[in-house]
Every structure is written in structure tokens, then in C-alpha cells.
Structure 1
């Protein structure tokens, strides 16, 4: 169950990272509130997951999911470049996440 909580925490991290773009420096109320809720929920779920996962593994996977998701949504939603090098580096992060998952933790 810890991995499910960790995965959800990572998805919420993507939500707040992308949400920051839409808050316009926290001057827009609804995006700001949703972003803050995502931040809190993400950290709470990370904390629950870390009850039974090693902190290094949990934190690395959490930030990795956030990084990959944010980079991909930046490409899709915000028109950020999708160069071969950038996509390759995203692939390396995914490989690292999977490696940590299957390394016996």
C-alpha cells in the first residue's frame, strides 16, 4: 500500500508544480488554493508512505514522479520543447524510479 500512497503523492506533486504556473505568482485565487491543497496532500501522502519505505527510496521516487510528470505536462500543456535529449533524460529518470521500485524495497 505504501507504493500506492507514494505514487499518488507523486501525482499530486505534478499537480502542484504545474499549478504554480497557473497561480500567476499566487495572484489568482482558485489556482492558488488548488495548488496549496495539492502541496499539502502530496506531502501528507509521502509521509504516510515513508512509514514503511526507506526515506531515500521514497523521496527519490516522489521527486522522480514529480519531475517526469511535470516535464511531460510542460511539453503537452505549455508547449515546452520535446527534444530527443530531453526525452532521453526523462527516460533515464523513469528507469531510476523503476530500479528503486524493484531493488527490493
Structure 2
């Protein structure tokens, strides 16, 4: 169950990270509210998951989900440019996240 909570926390991290540029330096109300709410939910769920999952493992997976997800939102939703090198690096990150999960005690 803790791993499911951690994955959901990571998905909320994707949302808040993707909203960050829309806040325009926290000068726009609703994107800022969305950012703060999803940030709070993400942190709360991370804290629940790390009751059972070691904090280093949980944090690594949470950050990885957020980084990969924010990258994908940037490319597929916001039209960010990317390169073969970036895609290879993201693939390596996904491999690392899976390895962290598979080797966790």
C-alpha cells in the first residue's frame, strides 16, 4: 500500500511542478493556489509512504516520478523541445527508479 501512496504522491509532484511556470513567480492567484494545494498533497502522501518505506528510497522514487513526469508534460503538453540525449537520460532515470524499487528492502 505504501508504494501505491508513493506513486500517487509522485503524480501530484508532476502536477505542482508542471504548474510552477503558470504561477508567473507566484503572481497569478489560481495557478499559485493549484501549485500550493498539489504541493501539500504530494508532501503529505510522501510523509505517509515513508512511514514504511525508507525515506531515502521513498524520496528517490518520488523525485524520479516527478522529474520524469514533468519532463513528459513539458514535451507532450507544453511543446518543450527535446533531444535524443535528453530522452536517453530520462530513460536512464526511469531505469534507475525501477532499480531502486526492485532493490528496496
Q: Give the shorter-chain TM-score range.
A: over 0.9
Cα distance between partner residues in 2 of 1:59 and 1:16:
16
Unaligned runs of 5+ in 2: none
CA distance in 2, matches of 1:92, 1:23: 30
Q: CA deviation at 1:77?
A: 2.1
1:82 Cα deviation from its structure 2 partner: 2.2
TM-score normalised by L of structure 1: 0.95
The CA RMSD over aligned residues, in Å, is: 0.9
Distance 1:46 1:55 in 2: 9
Gaps of 5+ in 1: none
In structure 2, C-alpha distance between the alignment counterparts of 1:100 and 1:80, rounded to whole Å: 28
The aligned counterpart of 1:79 is: 79
1:63-84 alpha-carbon deviations (Å, 9 max, x no partner): 0000000011111122222211
Aligned length: 105
TM-score of the superposed pair, with normalisation by structure 2: 0.95
Deviation at 1:104, TM superposition (A): 3.8
